[in-house]
Amino acid sequence: MAAVAAPGFPGWVIEHGYLRELQPWETLRDDLPSARTSPIVAPPPRNSLDPARARLERLLLDDAPPPPPPRPLISTRVIDGRLPSAAKVRAAEAAVDHVPAAIRAKLSRAGARIELIAGVDVAAHPQFSHHPHARYCGMTKFAEPFAAVAVDADRDPGATVLHELGHILDQVAAHPSRSAGWGEIWERDKRSGKVSAFADQRTRPSEYFAESFSRLWSPRPGVWPSSRAAERFIMGLC
């Protein structure tokens, strides 16, 4: 389209011999040497395309895969100038992605957070500095849905991340590990040899709860199996 600016009317152009008001999307190229004879670039009004574009977008959205279910927030923190490696962070995220979507959604709605740190001792984390003599790979706060995991303690930190996430679920669901129902499962599983001595599980039902959570969804093959009763109990919390 060729047009010339109407003399004395900066917002108007003469086009095919007629005076026409400039539209908002049009600009007079007055930066060029001869503004009066410069072509005006006028793209078609966007609105004329919108119904078709909206239909297409709706179609594309309908066919798009559903968004991934939410994952409790995993972040990293620098401790002693070090960050966990990307490979360890990926392993932690992959482990959490094994947890059923309903449980993940419950945890993320409650604001669950896991912070990954480099090193082998989680007591280096500022949130747990009151445990100077403890050497733990993972630790969960009782007052908030928060845990820290030192990812270099293990070749694959996923199991520890899941164990701490089990403690967080226990908190978020108002401590079902203290209930009579869980107590029965714990006693029965102890008698049938399903409760190992690892991580205080034989003395504390809350540790068996966290460890069952970890074993149920650990991506690592050959993990000590948890009982079906434990699995049903934990799944029933969602």
Closest C-alpha to 79, from 113, 129, 142, 139: 129
> Is residue 91 within the footprint of Zn ion (CB under 5 A)?
no
For 14, the token pair is: 């003469």
CB of 161 to Zn ion, least distance (A): 12
* Backbone φ and ψ of 114, nearest 5°: -125, 130
> Is residue 172 within the footprint of Zn ion (CB under 5 A)?
no
Amino acid at 98: H
CB of 231 to Zn ion, least distance (A): 18
For 56, the token pair is: 């297409």
> Is residue 5 within the footprint of Zn ion (CB under 5 A)?
no
Considering only residues 189 to 208 of the shown chain, the ones binding Zn ion according to CB under 5 A are 207
User: Which of 5, 161 has the CB closer to Zn ion?
Assistant: 161
> Is residue 210 within the footprint of Zn ion (CB under 5 A)?
yes
| The pairing of beta strand 113-117 with beta strand 18-21 | unpaired
CB of 136 to Zn ion, least distance (A): 8
CB of 115 to Zn ion, least distance (A): 16
Interface with Zn ion (CB under 5 A): 207, 210
